[in-house]
Amino acid sequence: MKVTCIIPMKELSSSKTRLSNYLTSDERCELSLSMLKDVVTSVMLCKYIDYTIIVTPDAQLKELLAEFSGIDFIYDKGISQTLAVEYAISYASKHVAPDITVICVADIPLLQARNLDEIISIALKEESCVLAPSSDGGTNVIAQHLVKPLKLMYGPHSFEKHLATAKNQGIKIDVYRSSETLIDVDTIDDLRLLSKIGCHGYTSNILNKIADKILGKL
């Protein structure tokens, strides 16, 4: 059983624009890169995943992630998240022929390898597509069998859209909920919640640096 993980990632310079009133461009870049590194770390520790793709328009990411081995970078020229992931799935199908693809967003720094292990185990045992929703109605992780792939619909309220699409396609769905997979970071409230909960890894370093800004002390 081959399992490929796909991580879509925007250009660092255009990431987390909803935080532009609170953080400098450099701080937003560092935050985005740190969260991506934490996600990649968990992916690399997952016992099922044997191939990882980062799909991005940002050519500098390969160098910035040089500490991680075994990642394939493909470049999407800044197309939408849905199209970028579909492009990566097509690429993986041609070059790796995985049985299952796991799609992780790049801004869920609390994600742990055990979450991915559990998600993939459910997909294998139940022969289902597993969705891990975000707290704001998005979809943070998808594990799907490529024999019958889900039509992807990233964007606002994507979780409900994915549920409806799966029903129309006749695809069995299992929903995975965990505090580690619920929180993605887009707004200052997300950052404040993350700071309150606490995290480890790369993201904790940048959170410490911008703590006063998060709490409104600067």
Please, what is the average pLDDT of the chain?
Answer: 95
Residue 85: its pLDDT value, please?
97
Look up residue 139 and give its two tokens.
């979809």
Residue 216: its pLDDT value, please?
75
pLDDT band at 214 (very low <50, low <70, confident <90, very high): confident
The number of distinct structural domains making up the chain is 1
Residue 187 to residue 184: CA distance in whole angstroms: 9
Residue 37: phi and psi, rounded to 5, are -60, -40
Residue 217: its pLDDT value, please?
58
Q: What is the CATH number of the domain that holds 97?
A: 3.90.550.10
Return the amino acid letter for 122.
I
Residue 157 to residue 134: CA distance in whole angstroms: 10
Report percent pLDDT > 90 for the chain: 93
The average pLDDT across 103-111 equals: 98
Given a cut of 80, is residue 83 above it in pLDDT? yes
Residue 123 to residue 169: CA distance in whole angstroms: 17
Residue 98: its pLDDT value, please?
96
**pLDDT tens digits for range 17-61:** 999 999 999 999 999 999 999 999 999 999 999 999 999 999 999
**pLDDT tens digits for range 174-187:** 999 999 999 999 99
The average pLDDT across 143-172 equals: 96
Domain that holds residue 177: 3-214
The average pLDDT across 135-149 equals: 96
Looking only at the bridges linking them, the beta strands covering 173-175 and 71-75 are unpaired
Please give the model's pTM, rounded to 2 decimal places.
0.96
Residue 215: its pLDDT value, please?
78
pLDDT band at 167 (very low <50, low <70, confident <90, very high): very high
The maximal CA–CA distance of the chain, rounded, in angstroms, is: 52
Residue 149 to residue 204: CA distance in whole angstroms: 35
